[in-house]
């Protein structure tokens, strides 16, 4: 089906609180890749106390934040947004949740002091704080819609995340720590929602994931699969290859 003149609607959850590590650059990538194809992106910030209307957005984005901001966001998510967000993704809306957003997309986060932040449960996973931070370049072998590719980024998290049966990993770790540094898995996927610890931001060096999210969101918007016009990703592929090489060099030291 043609996607001519379509404008996707993105709900940016907590842009004021969950915005560290330059990850709002992920939205810039989505906007440009849509514009290069003659498509639009309408971004709506959804902050503390703002409701979510199921069906009003084709794609949700939730980034990472400092612990104190994440605690405030967790309470607001549970109180004002959880039910509508679950309804939206059950209806086919796509989602990208990064680091702290990845943790809150699950069932919750338990801190070192035993305190508990509630999650919204759009991903089947749970996170417990570990004694150290897992930091460094991260390379994974990912699979989406039956296609496998390498994905690169940078991780910096204390959380140890473990998946339940309702989510599958985004990929398997080639270099780095991943969800918990033990099981070799990274990220989580349920339906059209992707969660990951990959910062950098994620999408500039991994346009395949950007286009997968765009395709899912367009299908939600139009009601049918949409064939995306190919783009010249030479620059993005060079950046991706450089990131893989950098991670490999550091591993060999």
Residue 250 scores a pLDDT above 70: no
In a domain, 105, yes or no: yes
Percent of all residues in the chain with a pLDDT value above 90, rounded to a whole number:
89
- Average pLDDT of the chain to the nearest whole number: 94
The residues that bridge with 98 in the sheet, in sequence order, are 196
Output the pTM of the full model.
0.95
Q: CA nearest 52: which of 41, 42, 44?
A: 44
191: left (phi over 0), alpha (psi -120 to 50) or beta: left
In a domain, 2, yes or no: no
Say which residue, 231 or 67, is predicted with more confidence.
231
Residue 1 scores a pLDDT above 70: no
Q: pLDDT for 29-66, tens place per residue?
A: 999 999 999 999 999 999 999 999 988 999 999 999 88
Assign residue 100 the CATH number of its domain. Answer: 3.40.50.880
Out of 2-16, 151-165, 186-200, which region has the weakest mean confidence (pLDDT)? 2-16
Residue 86 scores a pLDDT above 60: yes
Q: Which long-range contacts (CB under 8 A, 24 or more apart) does 226-234 make?
A: 226/1, 226/2, 226/3, 227/1, 228/3, 228/37, 229/37, 231/33, 231/36, 231/37, 231/207, 233/207
In a domain, 73, yes or no: yes
* Active site members: 99, 199
Residue 78 scores a pLDDT above 90: yes
pLDDT of residue 2: 52
- Looking at the structure of the chain, the number of domains it has is 1
- Can you tell me the mean pLDDT for 232-239? 96
For 178, the domain range is 7-252
- Can you tell me the mean pLDDT for 140-157? 97
In a domain, 140, yes or no: yes
- Can you tell me the mean pLDDT for 133-150? 97
114: left (phi over 0), alpha (psi -120 to 50) or beta: left
In a domain, 1, yes or no: no
Binned at pLDDT 50, 70 and 90, residue 135 comes out as: very high
Q: CA nearest 233: which of 208, 215, 201, 213?
A: 208
Token pair for 63: 């980034």
| CA distance linking residue 223 with residue 96, whole number of Å | 20
pLDDT of residue 253: 47
pLDDT of residue 16: 92
Percent of all residues in the chain with a pLDDT value above 70, rounded to a whole number:
97
Residue 205 scores a pLDDT above 90: yes
pLDDT of residue 252: 54
């Amino acid at each position: 089906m043609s996607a001519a003149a379509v404008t996707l609607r993105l709900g940016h959850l907590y842009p004021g609180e969950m915005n560290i590590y330059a990850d709002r650059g992920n939205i810039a990538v989505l906007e440009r890749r849509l514009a290069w194809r003659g498509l639009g992106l309408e971004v709506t910030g959804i902050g503390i106390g703002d409701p979510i209307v199921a069906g009003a957005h084709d794609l949700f984005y939730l980034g990472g934040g400092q612990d104190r901001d994440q605690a405030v966001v967790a309470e607001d998510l549970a109180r004002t947004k959880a039910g509508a967000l679950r309804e939206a993704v059950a209806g086919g809306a796509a989602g990208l949740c990064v680091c702290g957003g990845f943790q809150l997309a699950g069932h919750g986060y338990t801190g070192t002091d035993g305190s508990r932040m509630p999650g919204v449960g759009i991903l089947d996973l749970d996170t417990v704080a570990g004694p150290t931070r897992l930091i460094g370049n991260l390379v994974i072998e990912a699979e989406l819609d039956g296609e496998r590719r390498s994905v690169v980024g940078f991780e910096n998290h204390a959380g140890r995340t473990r998946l339940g049966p309702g989510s599958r990993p985004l990929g398997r770790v080639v270099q780095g720590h991943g969800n918990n540094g033990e099981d070799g898995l990274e990220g989580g996927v349920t339906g059209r929602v992707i969660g990951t610890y990959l910062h950098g931001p994620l999408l500039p060096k991994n346009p395949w994931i950007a286009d997968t999210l765009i395709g899912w969101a367009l299908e939600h918007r139009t009601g049918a699969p949409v064939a995306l016009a190919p783009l010249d990703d030479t620059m993005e592929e060079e950046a991706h290859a450089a990131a893989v090489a950098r991670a490999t060099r550091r591993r060999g030291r």
